[in-house]
Amino acid sequence: MSALPACPKCQSEFTYEDGSAYVCPECAHEWSADAATAAEDDVRVYRDSAGNVLQDGDTITVIKDLKLKGSGGVVKMGTKVKGIRLVDSDHDIDCKIDGFGQMSLKSEFVKKV
């Protein structure tokens, strides 16, 4: 078994070293050795507006009025949201808000309860 990391693009195990970079012969993806070690240590941490770490299932409150696109409604400041789900997107919280249904929020507009 090779001690070299698998290709981050296609997960091929047939990577090889070329100077200070790794190369995948199957998809021709090249990446630096530094990026490979940083990717292994890179775990996204989601934080609310106060800097508290958020996790799946947490309860949060909205810290400012949020206008909804399309429907013209407003999610009021202080609205409590239970059971959030964190996703890797520009709006990093998926949740269900009573009266509005399924929504995506940015973590910068919420505070952990």
CA atoms lying within 13 Å on the CB side of residue 42 = 6
More confident residue, 71 or 99: 99
pLDDT of residue 67: 93
Q: Which two tokens stand for residue 53?
A: 């770490």
What beta strand segments (E) does the chain contain? 16-18, 21-23, 30-32, 60-62, 66-67, 74-75, 80-81, 85-86, 93-97, 101-105, 110-112
**Residue 94 bridge partners (DSSP):** 85, 104
pLDDT of residue 105: 95
The residue-averaged pLDDT of 22-26 equals 90
The stretches of the chain forming alpha helices (DSSP H) are 33-41
pLDDT of residue 42: 56
Is 0.85 topped by the overall pTM? no
